[in-house]
């Protein structure tokens, strides 16, 4: 799965909720070689508008998947759950491709699929306005270029699903760190396995085949109080959990999406 993180310049999931982050500097261009050739034009012109006729559509959880025909080619896209029917003309702006994407909800692998922030039925409200949609879907809590500075990393601003814990209400993990310490010591801890205890305040499921869990423990200020945890496991909002995983600092997913701290390959134990 780590290969997927390197292949895709950005993957954005649109749900509201979260904290803002500073824009990434010198964002590298996504390697084109990893993307199916049939979709190279879409991938390299990701800021433009794509439109086409819906050939197939299905909902999976909070998301709608559509197969469209555009300029004589067929492609799949996924965005926020949207009422769409076969034969409709839909459009979306931008999007980032994910090759060989497996959807657990649909139990299906897509050779290539575009993650987009919004699906619009042509002729519907706002469809012809030409307004730029938000960033292509990214996990909760974070920011996009120009959104300001928060350390949680990488998505539109908003609120956590549940209220965060009060200061001093969650005991520090034995041999572990607080959320604030992980941010302040990220230079020394990058690449190391760490332990942290906290309350699950938000969960974004099945993003690039992983679950994105947002953890708070009552420490830190805005920008250093919300920790992003990437895991194969599930977590329930409101639970107190112990997390063990590898800390990565300054994680740059491209397109302005940047995490000061992220915990990858995490194992979660509910307490």
Q: Which of 54-58, 79-83, 102-106, 165-169 has the lowest mean pLDDT?
A: 102-106
**C-alpha distances in Å from residue 29, one per residue of 26, 77, 267:** 9, 21, 31
Is residue 43 over pLDDT 50?
A: no
Distance (Å, whole) CA 260 – CA 268: 21
Residue 3: which pLDDT band, with cuts at 50, 70 and 90? very low
**Residue range 158-165: average pLDDT?**
74
Structural domains of the chain, ranges and CATH numbers in brackets: 2-121 (2.40.50.140)
Q: How far is CA 179 from the centre of its chain?
A: 20
User: Regarding predicted confidence, which is higher, 43 or 1?
Assistant: 1
Q: Are 264 and 246 a contacting pair, CB within 8 Å?
A: yes
Q: What is the pTM of this model?
A: 0.54
**Residues 6 or more apart whose Cβ sits within 8 Å of residue 254:** 8, 9, 10, 24, 27, 28, 29, 30
d(CA 218, CA 179): 8
Q: What pLDDT is stored for residue 125 in this prediction?
A: 52
**Phi, psi at residue 102, to the nearest 5°?**
-100, 125
> What does the pLDDT read at residue 32?
36
CB 7 within 8 A of CB 209: no
Distance CA 119, CA 27 (A): 26
DSSP state at residue 25: S
């Amino acid at each position: 799965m780590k290969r997927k993180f390197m292949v895709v310049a950005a993957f954005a999931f649109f749900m509201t909720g979260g904290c803002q982050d500073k824009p990434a500097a010198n964002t590298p261009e996504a390697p084109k070689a990893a993307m199916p050739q049939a979709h190279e034009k879409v991938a390299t012109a990701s800021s433009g508008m794509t439109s086409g006729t819906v050939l197939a559509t299905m909902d999976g959880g909070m998301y709608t998947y559509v197969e469209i025909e555009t300029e004589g080619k067929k492609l799949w896209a996924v965005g926020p759950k949207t009422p769409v029917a076969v034969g409709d003309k839909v459009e979306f702006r931008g999007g980032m491709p994910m090759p060989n994407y497996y959807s657990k909800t649909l139990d299906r692998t897509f050779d290539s699929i575009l993650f987009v922030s919004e699906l619009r039925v042509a002729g519907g409200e706002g469809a012809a306005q030409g307004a730029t949609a938000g960033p292509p879907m990214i996990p909760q809590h974070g920011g996009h270029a120009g959104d300001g500075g928060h350390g949680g990393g990488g998505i539109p601003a908003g609120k956590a699903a549940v209220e965060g814990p009060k200061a001093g209400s969650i005991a520090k993990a034995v041999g572990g760190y607080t959320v604030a310490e992980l941010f302040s010591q990220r230079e020394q801890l990058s690449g190391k396995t760490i332990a942290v205890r906290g309350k699950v305040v938000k969960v974004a499921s099945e993003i690039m085949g992983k679950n994105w869990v947002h953890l708070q423990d009552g420490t830190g200020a805005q920008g250093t109080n919300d920790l992003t945890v990437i895991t194969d496991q599930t977590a329930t909002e409101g639970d107190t959990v112990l997390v063990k995983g590898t800390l990565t600092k300054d994680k740059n997913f491209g397109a302005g999406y940047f995490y000061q701290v992220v915990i990858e390959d995490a194992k979660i134990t509910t307490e």
